[in-house]
Amino acid sequence: MGVKEDIERLKKEKKAVILAHNYQPPAIQDLADIVGDSLELAIKAKEATEDLIVLCGVQFMAETAKILNPGKKVILPVKDTGCPLADQLTPDMIKEARKNHPGAAVVVYVNSSAECKAEADVACTSANAAGVVRSLEETEVIFGPDSNLASWVQEQVPEKEIIPVPPDGHCPVHAVFEIGDTEEAKRLDYCIVCHPECEKSIRDKSDFVAPTGGMMKIASEAGRWAVLTEKDMTYRLSKEYPEKEFLAYEKSVCKDMKKITPEILRNSLETEDYEIVLDEEEMNRARGAIERMIAIRS
């Protein structure tokens, strides 16, 4: 039997569901039951009735799945799949920010650790960050760890004061884009969509700013797209819209997202490694922030 057949057999035997992020390699996207952005995966993990949740993504995504569905076994096929952006925020930073801004609400991006979510009032994804902030009664909002997403939210919700923590937090995958990329895309007559994690100068030169889930929704509006986010987002877009052209940027690669291969996925299903184990009290504290995130879809 081949790897694909082994995975299908093991899924049935283990009563498992495979969730994969949009940035996973094409081979993993093709093997997944659900492919989506962080918000979509969080919702599917919460709703999962299968005994085993296999999260093909990075550590914070698997932690979120476990927090939302603690009675299920959640595994991450590769143990050391971190997130450089998530690593830039610590619980101590949040506590210090609360001291400096008493009365401010704390919003943490889903791209953060379970420990940080436990210190937050509410979590968000790029898909609903503006909606989450808009829903808060507080006028001051501590927001971390992505300062570019924070500045985009500030533009969308000008009536709030957004305090980025840390002030220079950023995603390396989206920091690679330059003005020259947008200029060249325009010269070649592409419609440009960029992720809100991109710098303001890039967002200002783009036709659309959208999270990956939003990119799926707006792709019908043009025939040729320059997609300024992680390169394998274009694979999912191309599958959904085969008649359209999507320009991927090979320099925009999340290395941690590429660690899972079909063979590793099969082995993970066989051994049920690596299980996500979190402190129960920490999970309970973080769950409230994530549940509030899910309740605000946009």
Q: For residues 293 and 285, give the distance between their C-alpha atoms in angstroms, rounded to a whole number.
A: 14
How far from chain centre, in Å, is Cα 42? 10
Enumerate the H helices of the chain as residue ranges. Answer: 3-14, 26-31, 38-47, 59-68, 91-100, 114-118, 129-135, 147-156, 172-175, 179-187, 200-205, 212-218, 233-240, 262-271, 280-295
Q: For residues 148 and 154, give the distance between their C-alpha atoms in angstroms, rounded to a whole number.
A: 10
Q: For residues 291 and 213, give the distance between their C-alpha atoms in angstroms, rounded to a whole number.
A: 19
């927001």: which residue's tokens?
A: 143
What pLDDT score does 80 carry? 87
Q: From first to last of its 298 residues, what are the pLDDT tens digits of the chain?
A: 799 999 999 999 999 999 999 999 999 999 999 999 999 999 999 999 999 999 999 999 999 999 999 999 999 999 989 999 999 999 999 999 999 999 999 999 999 999 999 999 999 999 999 999 999 999 999 999 999 999 999 999 999 999 999 999 999 999 999 999 999 999 999 999 999 999 999 999 999 999 999 999 999 999 999 999 999 999 999 999 999 999 999 999 999 999 999 999 999 999 999 999 999 999 999 999 999 999 997 5
Q: Is 260 helix (H, G, I), strand (E, B) or coil?
A: coil
Decide: 31 and 4 in contact? Cβ < 8 Å: yes
Q: What does 40-67 look like in DSSP terms, one character per residue?
A: HHHHHHHH--SSEEEEES-HHHHHHHHH
What pLDDT score does 134 carry? 97
What pLDDT score does 298 carry? 59
Decide: 262 and 27 in contact? Cβ < 8 Å: yes
pTM (predicted TM-score): 0.96
- Phi/psi at 231 (5° precision): -60, -35
Q: For residues 16 and 90, give the distance between their C-alpha atoms in angstroms, rounded to a whole number.
A: 33
Q: For residues 218 and 201, give the distance between their C-alpha atoms in angstroms, rounded to a whole number.
A: 21
Q: For residues 184 and 216, give the distance between their C-alpha atoms in angstroms, rounded to a whole number.
A: 23
Q: From residue 223, how far is each of 23, 160, 178, 187, 207 by CA, in Å? A: 22, 36, 23, 15, 13
